[in-house]
């Protein structure tokens, strides 16, 4: 295990993520590794920001589904489809008590300003962790650069950012007045 300067190890396995994403392997297709690695990178950055490798169940579920609507509904306006998929999973697993937090994490993970509502600690840490990954670590939010490099080495990009760029360009061409429908103020 690699360590950042605060002693947080790179978590190399998230069994729930593996289980959930395997059930969507058909929808993810050739992007399976790209999305899986993105989720694992974000969760590692969440751990670094939280200074704890014990990821709450709601965060694990939200992480599994947060961008999944891109593939399951074939849309770049993916927050609602991702929330629907997460809700179905929670009902199937009898984990409805996690639903309010999971929904907020997914819905607010592209918020441009800090989130201050219910479940703020986890929502805000997840939002910032996703931004670290989206920017390839250019935005680090205090996470040590060696930790980011170790996470990226453990979970290579596998085309995730290229896929997002392609989808963003397609969205812009088709809806220039709504180029990033997932952003929240």
pLDDT in tens, the chain (185 residues): 333 445 889 999 999 999 999 999 999 999 999 999 999 999 999 999 999 999 999 999 999 999 999 999 888 688 999 999 999 999 999 999 999 999 999 999 998 899 999 999 999 999 999 999 999 899 999 999 999 999 999 999 988 878 877 876 675 767 766 666 665 67
Residues 95, 87: Cα–Cα separation, whole Å: 9
For residue 47, give the nearest of 138, 145, 135, 151 by alpha carbon. 151
Residues 60, 68: Cα–Cα separation, whole Å: 13
Q: Structural domain boundaries of the chain? A: 15-174
Q: Which fold has domain 15-174?
A: Hypothetical protein af1432 (1.10.3210)
Residues 14, 81: Cα–Cα separation, whole Å: 23
CB neighbours of residue 148 within 10 Å: 22
pLDDT at 75: 85
Contact 139, 148 (CB under 8 A): no
pLDDT at 6: 59
């Amino acid at each position: 295990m690699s360590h950042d300067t605060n002693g947080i190890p790179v978590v190399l396995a998230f069994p729930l993520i593996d289980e959930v994403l395997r059930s969507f392997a058909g929808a993810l297709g050739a992007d399976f590794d790209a999305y899986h690695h993105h989720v694992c990178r974000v969760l590692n950055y969440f751990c670094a920001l939280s200074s704890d490798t014990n990821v709450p169940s709601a965060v694990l579920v939200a992480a599994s589904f947060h961008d999944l609507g891109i593939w399951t509904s074939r849309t770049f306006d993916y927050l609602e489809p991702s929330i629907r998929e997460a809700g179905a999973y929670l009902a199937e697993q009898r984990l409805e008590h996690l639903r309010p937090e999971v929904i907020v994490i997914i819905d607010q993970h592209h918020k441009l300003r800090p989130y201050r509502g219910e479940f703020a600690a986890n929502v805000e840490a997840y939002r910032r962790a996703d931004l670290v990954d989206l920017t390839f670590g250019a935005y680090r939010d205090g996470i040590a650069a060696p930790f980011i490099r170790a996470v990226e080495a453990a979970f290579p990009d596998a085309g995730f950012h290229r896929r997002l760029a392609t989808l963003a360009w397609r969205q812009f061409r088709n809806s220039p007045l709504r180029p990033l429908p997932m952003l929240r103020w």
